[in-house]
Amino acid sequence: MLENKKLLIGIGAGIFILIIVLVIVFTRKTGTNNNQNNGITDLGAGTVTLWTPIGDEAAYAPFIERLQDQDVVLNIVAKNPATYEDDLVNAIAAGQGPDIFLLKDDWVVKRYGMIYPIPYQKSRYSDTVKDFKNLYPSVVAQQMIGAKGDIFGYPISSDPLVLYTNRTIFDNLRMQLQSREEGIDEATDALMRRSPTTWDEFKTVSKMLTIKNGTLVSQAGAALGTDNNIESAQDILYLLMLQNGTQFASSDGKSATFQLQQKAQSGADWYPGTSALDFYTSFASPASDVYSWNESMPNATEYFIQGKLAMMVDYASRENYIKQMNPNLEYGVDPLPQVRQSLIPNGFMHYWAFSVNKNSKVGNLAWGVISVLMGENDRSKYLTASGRYPIMRDDLGSGGAGTIEGQITRAKTIYKPDLDKYNTIMLKMINDATHSKQPLQSSIEAAARDITALLK
C-alpha cells in the first residue's frame, strides 16, 4: 500500500514538473510576461547564472554536465551569506543580477517585486497551484503562492530546527549514576540513552546535566532564555508559541493576538503566548529550578562545540560548522521536543526557493532549468550531495512527529510584513522579560502593541 502511494506521489511530482514547463511554454507563446522578447525559442539553448549563499555550489555539478548536453550553460556563483540579501537587492535594483537566485522563505513579503513568477493561467493551468499544494508541506504553499495564484519559487530542500545533544555529557552522567551504590533506575537510564521527546523531559534532563555554583554555570544542560547569545532565539520562541497553539494575528491580519487569552485543548482559558515566553526565559532566571543559561555566557553554538553544553536548539545547517570546528565531538541531531499530549505536534523550518529575477533576459529558460533541478532523479542527487533535508512530500516520506522529516511536514510559520523589525521586537520582548521586574504579561503586551503597529 505504501509503495503504491509513493508511486502515485512520484507520478504526481512528474506531472507537476511537466505543468511547470507547459506554463512556461504557454507564457512564452502568448507573451504574457516581461521576458516575451528574450529570444528563447526552446528550453535547450542559452546561459543561465544562479546565485547561492548556502554553500551548496558543489551539489550542482551533475546538473551543469546534464544541461551542457542540452546546450545550456549553468553558471553557479557562491555568494557571501552575510551580504547576500543586500548584494541581490542592489543588483536587481540596478537592472542586473543573476537569472536564478535563492529566495529565503521569509523574504517573500518584502522581496516579491524582484521576482518573475510563473503566472496563474486560470483558463488552462489552474491545476498548477493545486499540485503545488499537494507536493509541498502546507507552510510552503502559504508563503510561495501569491494572492492571484502566481508562484514565486520552488524549494528543493529545507533547514529545520533540530535538537543537538552532546552524547558524551549524557553518557558521562549515566555512568556516574550507575557507579553509585543504589545504581540508576530504569527510567533515568533510558532517558540518558536518547534525546528528550517532550519539553517536560527536556526540563528534567537539563536540570540533571547542568553543573552550577550559584549563578555561575560551568556546564549547561540547555541554552535557552536569552536574546543575545543564542542563534535564532526568536525562532525558538516562535516554535514554542506555535506548539502551544498561539494565534499570532487577528483574522484580518491587522492586529497582534499572541498576548491574548485563548482556549486550551482541554477547554480551559489560558495565555499560550505568555506561557511559551515563561518557559523560554525560565532557563535564564537564577530563581528558576531549570536555570542553566545567562547572557554573560559564550555564544551557544561555540559553547556546544567546546563540549560544555548538553542540549541546543538550532538549525540543521549549523551541523556543517560544528563538524568543521570540532570533528571529534560526539553529538546527536534529533527531532524537536513536543508539548506533552499535544494534538498538534509540529516543527519550524526555513528553506530557500529557486526564483527567477524579473530582469532576466532568459527568464523562461531559467524556469526551464529550475524544472530540471526539481526532477526526481536530479533532486535526489542534489539532496545527497548537499547533505540538506528534503522538503517535497514524496522525499519526506510518511514519518511521524517523532522524526525530523515528519516535523518538516508539519512545520508552521507566521506572517511577518517586515522580517527584521518583527524579529527585533520579539528579541526585545525576550530581553525585557529577562530583566524587567514587571509581570511577563506586561512584556508580551508591549511587544504586541509594536507588532500591531507594524501590521497596519
Place of cell 498548477: 128
Kindly indicate the confidence band of residue 30, based on its pLDDT and cuts at 50, 70 and 90. very low
Q: Are 276 and 244 in the same domain?
A: yes
CB atoms within 10 A of CB 79: 18
Q: Are 183 and 211 in the same domain?
A: yes
pLDDT digits (tens, 9 = 90+) for 352-389: 999 999 999 999 899 889 988 888 888 889 999 999 99
Residue 32's domain comprises 2-159+350-404
The pLDDT assigned to 27 comes to: 40
The pLDDT assigned to 402 comes to: 80
* Domain C-terminal end among 384, 404, 424: 404
Mean pLDDT computed over 33-53: 63
The pLDDT assigned to 195 comes to: 95
Mean pLDDT computed over 54-81: 93
- Distant-in-sequence, close-in-space partners of 216: CB < 8 Å, separation ≥ 6: none
Specify the CATH number for the domain of residue 256: 3.40.190.10
Q: Are 281 and 327 in the same domain?
A: yes
CB 72 within 8 A of CB 44: yes
Kindly indicate the confidence band of residue 150, based on its pLDDT and cuts at 50, 70 and 90. confident
Residue 34 has pLDDT above 80, yes or no: no
Higher pLDDT, 379 or 333: 333
* Domain C-terminal end among 381, 404, 427: 404
The pLDDT assigned to 39 comes to: 31
pLDDT digits (tens, 9 = 90+) for 385-416: 999 999 999 999 877 768 999 999 999 999 99
Distance, in Å, from the CA atom of 158 to the CA atom of 76, rounded to the nearest integer, reads: 20
- Distant-in-sequence, close-in-space partners of 1: CB < 8 Å, separation ≥ 6: none
pTM, two decimals, is 0.88
Q: Are 169 and 67 in the same domain?
A: no
Residue 430 is inside which H or E element, if any? helix 419-435
In a domain, 65, yes or no: yes
Q: Are 261 and 205 in the same domain?
A: yes
Residue 128 has pLDDT above 80, yes or no: no
Higher pLDDT, 57 or 70: 57
The pLDDT assigned to 41 comes to: 36
Q: Are 123 and 30 in the same domain?
A: yes
Look at the alpha carbons of 409, 415, 258, 254 in this order and tell me if their dihedral is positive or negative. negative
pLDDT digits (tens, 9 = 90+) for 173-206: 999 999 988 888 999 999 999 999 999 999 999 9
Instruction: Work out how many domains the chain is built from and give that number.
Output: 2
